[in-house]
Chains A and B, each alone.
Chain A
Amino acid sequence: MVNETSTLAGAKIAAPGPRAQISPRVWKILGILVILAIACILPLGLSNYRLFQLTLALVYAIAILGLNILTGYNGQISLGHGAFYAIGAYVAAILMNTYNVPYWATIPIAGFVCLVVGFLFGLPALRLEGHYLALATFALAVATPQLLKYKAIANWTGGVEGINLLKPDAPAWMHVDSDQYLYYFTLAITVVMFVIGWNLLRGRVGRALVAIRDHPVAAEAMGVNTAYHKAMAFGVSALYTGVAGAIGAIVVAYVAPDSFDFLLSIFLLVGLVVGGLASISGAIYGALFIQFAPNFAADLSKAAPWAIFGIFMIGAVYVMPGGVASFVQIVWDRIRRMLAPARGT
């Protein structure tokens, strides 16, 4: 809302003068292009290990955006999104391993499967208010590894052992190695997913989701189909997280039940909270945080990253409810005001 009005105001001011001012929207696009350009040349300067980490950060960004659609925008608390990530990862792994489906083709399939599963999970979730949904998804998160180990499906899932995959090779014309290729591959999908997410959340659907979150009774009265939107938010959210899971499986080239434990769900939640609830860019900040913060803490102890995550979660609620995204917004506004000459005539 704020952005739209400021864009309008910018346009009005820009129209009469010959020396048109740069509107906030243009600033934003410029900023995004610069960041994308940096993202494209990064592989040249980074070790393969760092690049691998960065690739995973992109994967998490997609997953967190998914969680954000449900929890941030629509207010349905999910403590179990790791389960959808796991489904995406396993669908991709099984397709590649058992049915020889090419790696890139597994991603839309995994997304679709998660869309359906998420939608179906979203139907009973309609009847669960607030923390009951949190409770049910919490239980889902805790139960996931056990489900994945279940013997009856071990033929496909590989049971406790999981599935080893082959890392896809880069196409010859690109002249990059496999890790660099996977980075660009992931980056491309990330951009696509974020553009789609942007269009979705900035439009009618996004407003409906927020209305349902903030004023459920009023939204219903205004003719928003609450049930449909909530279940669909669950489905789309699961789709995003499932796509992330599928790419994650391809990038790591390995899936196993114990990597999809309860902490994975919390991991995504930390990213969501620290990055910023109901913020698209927040998903990226959050992903970078959960991926790289542990690097600094792990020297202390194996447990230290999680202790720090816990502190950040509580701290975010107390000090920075809008997460990093709101902080960046404040800084960004200030910079813009300093750069732009004083407004008015």
Chain B
Amino acid sequence: MSTFLHQVFSGLATGGIYASVALALVMIYQATNLINFAQGEMAMFSTYIAWSLINAGVPYWLAFLITVTVSFIGGMVIERVIIRPAVKRSSLLGVVIVFIGVLVIFNSLAGWIFSYTIKSFPSPFPEQALFNNTYVSSHELGAIITTLVVLGILYGFFRFTPLGLAMRAAAQNPVSSRLVGIRVGWMLALGWGLAAAIGAVAGMMVAPMVYLDPNMMQGILIYAFAAALLGGIDNPWGSVLGGFIVGVLENLIGAYLFGTELKLSVALILIVAVLVFKPTGLFGKVLVTRV
């Protein structure tokens, strides 16, 4: 029982990471109908920024804040400078290629600047487990709470602020949005900024568990894809739930069924299965295309 609970809790911790990245993917997908293949590498690079700051003696939470801010701005810049012109002039294939190009550039840039050797990344949470329990480590608990706080802030932002409302409107109906005066282009950039910032938090939370290296986020991105698809890629809260489900599922399957050797294949099968059998995911909207 104790191992089972332990598996569930640590599943929730990684699930929170998947949920965050999935949410970032969904935000961009909702606004632009594009899948950001570079989301993982952007988050990885953000984590390296945090690592450099912390190594330079900046206190953890200040480094955290700076990283989130820098990532936010970086995300907006990438959208405006690289992605938008590609969307304007190119087919879907071209845009996908640009995404892969961004992915590759971030990956190699990280390798170039920080080398490919793995680095340990500090956790801001105490080393000792809360009440010395054996189910969940402090970092796992902290990561879960951090994820929930981030999600809570985002929920509040989208639900209760005019800007959040405008972003939702712009994603849904750009033409009408312009007619009420929303600067739709900026909303897209803002969405990218937020996605990058969320990714940065996810990266900083996962790095203490898996160590930091340029390929850190590859597997996580695949799981986040699976989560987003499972929850419904047009439903932010469904994808968050999908993240937690996938996280727990991954741990249980690893512990009781196949072992961890085929982790990624499980995610692959999940992705293909959802896409083929239930493309709307568990909580997605059913869209009817008219010919």
Q: Report which A residues bind B (CB closer than 8 A).
A: 71, 75, 77, 79, 124, 127-128, 130-132, 134-136, 138-140, 142-143, 146-147, 149-151, 217, 262, 266, 269, 273, 277, 301-307, 309-314, 316-318, 321
Report yes or no: B104 in contact with A146, Cβ–Cβ below 8 A: no
Name B's interface SS.
helix
Nearest opposing residue in chain B for A314, CB measure: B101
A188–chain B nearest beta-carbon distance, Å: 32
- Expressed in whole angstroms, the Cα–Cα distance for A321 and B91 within the complex equals 10
B208–chain A nearest beta-carbon distance, Å: 22
Report yes or no: A143 in contact with B265, Cβ–Cβ below 8 A: yes
Interface membership of chain B positions 86-125, coded 1 if the CB is closer than 8 angstroms to chain A and 0 otherwise: 1001101111111011111101111110001000000000
B263's partner among A146, A303, A312 (CB-CB below 8 A) is: A146
B175–chain A nearest beta-carbon distance, Å: 22
> Do A151 and B268 contact each other (CB < 8 Å), given the known contacts A266-B104, A310-B101?
no
B108's partner among A77, A150, A262, A310 (CB-CB below 8 A) is: A310
Q: Does B240 count as interface, using CB distance less than 8 angstroms?
A: no
Nearest opposing residue in chain B for A123, CB measure: B276
A302's partner among B35, B97, B116 (CB-CB below 8 A) is: B116
- Expressed in whole angstroms, the Cα–Cα distance for A306 and B94 within the complex equals 19
Q: Does B127 count as interface, using CB distance less than 8 angstroms?
A: no
Within 8 A of A (CB), among B241-287: 261-265, 267-268, 271-272, 275-276, 279
Q: Report which B residues bind A (CB closer than 8 A).
A: 34-35, 37, 82, 85-86, 89-90, 92-98, 100-105, 107-112, 116, 218-219, 221-222, 225-226, 229, 261-265, 267-268, 271-272, 275-276, 279, 291
B112's partner among A77, A139, A146, A303 (CB-CB below 8 A) is: A303
Report yes or no: A318 in contact with B222, Cβ–Cβ below 8 A: no
Q: B96: which A residues are within 8 A, CB to CB?
A: 77, 79, 131, 134
Nearest opposing residue in chain A for B226, CB measure: A139
A-B contact pairs, 18 of them (CB 8 A): A124-B272, A128-B275, A131-B35, A135-B35, A135-B37, A136-B275, A139-B267, A139-B268, A146-B264, A266-B100, A269-B100, A303-B110, A304-B108, A310-B100, A313-B98, A313-B100, A318-B85, A321-B94
Nearest opposing residue in chain A for B259, CB measure: A151
Report yes or no: A71 in contact with B93, Cβ–Cβ below 8 A: yes
- Expressed in whole angstroms, the Cα–Cα distance for A71 and B97 within the complex equals 11
- Expressed in whole angstroms, the Cα–Cα distance for A124 and B291 within the complex equals 22
> Do A313 and B97 contact each other (CB < 8 Å), given the known contacts A131-B35, A139-B267, A143-B265?
yes
Q: B37: which A residues are within 8 A, CB to CB?
A: 79, 134-135, 138
B111's partner among A79, A140, A302, A311 (CB-CB below 8 A) is: A302
- Expressed in whole angstroms, the Cα–Cα distance for A143 and B82 within the complex equals 28
Report yes or no: A146 in contact with B261, Cβ–Cβ below 8 A: yes
Given contacts A131-B96, A317-B97, 12 further A-B contacts (CB under 8 A): A79-B96, A135-B225, A135-B275, A138-B222, A139-B222, A142-B221, A150-B262, A151-B261, A302-B111, A310-B103, A313-B97, A314-B101
Q: B110: which A residues are within 8 A, CB to CB?
A: 303
Report yes or no: A317 in contact with B225, Cβ–Cβ below 8 A: no
B98–chain A nearest beta-carbon distance, Å: 5
Q: B34: which A residues are within 8 A, CB to CB?
A: 131
Q: A313: which B residues are within 8 A, CB to CB?
A: 97-98, 100-101, 104
Report yes or no: B35 in contact with A142, Cβ–Cβ below 8 A: no
